[in-house]
Amino acid sequence: MRLLVGLGNPGAAYANNRHNVGFMALDAIAKRYGFSAWRKRFQGVIAEGLVEGEKALAFKPAAYINLSGQCVGEAVRFFKIAPEDVIVIYDEIELTPGKVRVKRGGGSAGHNGIKSIDAHVGVDYWRVRLGIGRPAGAGDVSNHVLQNFTKADMDWLGPFLDAVAASVPLLVTGDDNKFMTKVAMLTAPPTPKNQKSTDGEVPSEPTESE
């Protein structure tokens, strides 16, 4: 059994914040795979379903993000889930919007939600970082993550969340590299068909630079 955790702050005032992209991704996953209705448990809300035939629990802590480890720790202990079967999905300012990176273990890189989970669960769980980008110029990072996604963000955010949900079976079955590759493929701009360069040659497809 896998425990999928989305990070964010509870309440309608925060629902569309960049910091809440983990909640948004979990909602997309639960909807795509027909998870049960959300119910209150472990100081949060939980839903369950099957992904690639494997039971999965989706969990959104109801505590503020810097205290989310308390809630996750409760769920982990109750279900006796090993840290390596926990997958935490959260925002990452150091990644370009619409990019995803996955690794098992590691540091928090200053993310307060991850610091809290490290303290209550240990560090040997999977981290799925969803890129939201840094503020322009010398903008304040704290203010940036607590602001809502803009209308312009919707152009990449919706397809990105759909791609993460569509690719999550690869994550659940342990193939993190294929997961990242599939998300990148699903969100890549389409190559114009039959487009020719000035010398009459069809240009090659662009490669992923990051």
User: What residues form DSSP beta bridges with 92?
Assistant: 131
Tell me the C-alpha distance between 80 and 62, whole Å. 21
Tell me the C-alpha distance between 172 and 56, whole Å. 8
The residue type at 159? P
Question: What element of type H or E holds 144?
Answer: helix 141-145
To the query of whether residue 19 is one of the catalytic residues in this protein, the response is: yes
Residues 118 and 69 sit within 8 Å (Cβ to Cβ): yes
Burial tier of 178 (Cβ tally within 10 Å: 0-12, 13-18, 19+): middle
**Closest by CA position to 135, among listed 145, 120, 127, 125:** 145
Distances (CA, A) of 112 to 13, 36, 41, 133, 163: 19, 29, 22, 17, 26
Catalytically annotated residues: 19
